[in-house]
Amino acid sequence: MAELTIQFGVDTDVTFGVVQSISDSETPAVAVAKGPKGQCVKRQAYSKTVSKKIEALIKVDQEKPAAGTVATVDGLTGLVMSSEITSQNEDFKKINLTVDAVDGIAGDAYVAPSVAGE
């Protein structure tokens, strides 16, 4: 699948769909140093993950981006960490999509391992 770009507030005539909601989050990766009795003596954030989650209405014949692919959501390019489709009616489907980047790095898309002999 080619890289997907979704912007908040897109019009109904866009080929992918209409974003209904978007949320931003940041999460640090934290190293913990423990004392001799197992108590925390120091915590150090060493990395930060920025995530965007969207909910959008898409056309019934539209496929969802696969987990592990690269997508851009509201200006953040990252790996698709979660991709879920909900069918609610005959005209549209609802997609929930989570994209994140770690320390500003989008990452590389997943490539399935090749099977020996193919």
Q: What is the pLDDT of residues 3-54, one digit of tens each?
A: 555 555 544 445 457 778 888 999 999 999 999 999 999 999 989 999 988 8
Higher pLDDT, 81 or 94: 81
- Is the distance from CB of 102 to CB of 48 less than 8 angstroms? yes
The two beta strands, 70-73 and 17-34, are: unpaired
Residue linked to tokens 């908040």: 8
pTM equals 0.70
**Hey, what's the torsion of the CAs at 37, 40, 41, 43, to 10 degrees?**
160
Q: What is the fold of 4-102? A: Elongation Factor Tu (Ef-tu); domain 3 (2.40.30)
Higher pLDDT, 43 or 58: 43
